[in-house]
Amino acid sequence: MQSFPLADWSLPGLELRSVWSPAIPYDDQVLAELSPGWRLLMLQDGSATRSLSVLTGETIQVAIDEATVINDDRWAPPEVAKLEAPYMRRTVGLRTRSGVVLSHAISWWNSGDYAGFLADPRLPIGTNMEQGRSEYAREILSLFLASGDTLDERFQAEGPFLGRHYVMHRGGRPLNVIVEIYAPAVARYLDVTGWYPRWDGRRGLPQA
């Protein structure tokens, strides 16, 4: 794999390598390797849930792995420090109604905000926010490549996998911090002739 620098934060059992940050222009050579569909999905500031639902033509479902109240998390992105403790950390897998696994996601919230904004935790965050008519904005902070056995098992594929992290703001304050890592299956919906971004010289179409 191309030698991207290690990210300045990580997650348990995963290695993260930085691909893009807001300081890097959109015409950067690395971003040019991504198809237009991948660039639009990863760098747009709208709802990932809505985008995935439009792409797949299916309702997006949530499999909750963890929802835990914590006072600190040394593995969290640094922006979590801008939230008020205690935190709710939620780890989920997103999949289509027919069972296609699309992403692995972790979010950190103030525990009170979590209860207030996620009326139904079984639904994706974007769906909850839309149903509650909550105004919010996303600030995309990085794209990265993630490697680790947990992801290989979840996606039934060999990494690295493309991910991003961002902050959702509401009313002038950060509401949560979210990490999303996408499965190779997403590439089939973005462009059936496109490549999943591996950047390691072993490119190939993901299997149907």
What is the DSSP secondary structure assignment for residue 21, as one 8-state letter?
A: -
Phi and psi for 173 in degrees, rounded to 5?
A: -135, 155
What predicted TM-score, i.e. pTM, was given to this entire model?
0.90
DSSP 3-state of 40? helix
What would the two tokens of residue 46 be? 């709208």
Does 206 have pLDDT greater than 70? no
Distance CA 22, CA 138 (A): 13
Q: What would the pLDDT profile of 23-36 be if each residue is shown by its tens digit?
A: 999 888 888 888 88
Average pLDDT value over all residues in the chain: 87
Domains of the chain: residue spans and CATH: 18-190 (3.40.1410.10)
Indicate whether 183 pLDDT > 80: yes
Backbone angles phi, psi at 13, to 5 degrees: 75, 5
pLDDT of 133 above 70: no
| pLDDT at position 169 over 80 | yes
